[in-house]
């Protein structure tokens, strides 16, 4: 059974997921921040520092960020980058 969180409940959960990813991004000179939760199924994030111009940031977004967020909040269907909306 999938637990559905409200937007208010999702924010700290997603922040915790980003905290798990953040050390890897910081090690490469970058960072990430939560911009908004568009719905209870879509999250918008923004890469910062070196991650903004990294040529593999879309792979990091899908295989690292989105995967981790979905592990914390399975109801999330999509994570998109702020610069790409």
- Rounded to whole angstroms, what are the CA distances from 83 to 1, 7, 13, 35, 45? 34, 22, 23, 11, 9
Q: How many domains does the chain have?
A: 1
pLDDT band for position 1 (50/70/90)?
Answer: low
What pLDDT score does 14 carry?
96
Which pTM was predicted? 0.88
Q: Does 38 map to a domain? A: yes
CATH code (residue 19): 3.30.300.130
Domain range enclosing 79: 7-84
Contact predicate 50/23, CB 8 Å: no
Q: Does 1 map to a domain? A: no
Q: Does 2 map to a domain? A: no
Please give the sequence-ordered ranges of beta strands (E in DSSP) within the chain, or none if there are none.
30-37, 42-49, 78-81
**Bridge-partner residues for 50, per DSSP?**
none
Q: Is the pLDDT of residue 84 over 70?
A: no
Q: What average pLDDT does the chain have? A: 90
Contact predicate 69/43, CB 8 Å: yes
Q: Does 42 map to a domain? A: yes
Per-residue pLDDT tens over the stretch 39-53:
879 999 999 999 888
Per-residue pLDDT tens over the stretch 17-41:
999 999 999 999 999 999 999 887 9
Contact predicate 62/21, CB 8 Å: no
Q: Does 32 map to a domain? A: yes
């Amino acid at each position: 059974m999938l637990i559905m969180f409200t937007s208010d409940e999702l924010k700290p959960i997603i922040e915790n997921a980003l905290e798990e990813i953040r050390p890897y991004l910081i090690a490469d000179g970058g960072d990430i921040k939560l911009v908004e939760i568009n719905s209870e199924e879509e999250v918008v994030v923004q890469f910062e520092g070196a991650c903004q111009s990294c040529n593999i940031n879309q792979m990091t977004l899908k295989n690292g960020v989105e995967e981790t967020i979905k592990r914390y909040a399975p109801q999330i269907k999509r994570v998109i980058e702020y610069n790409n909306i």
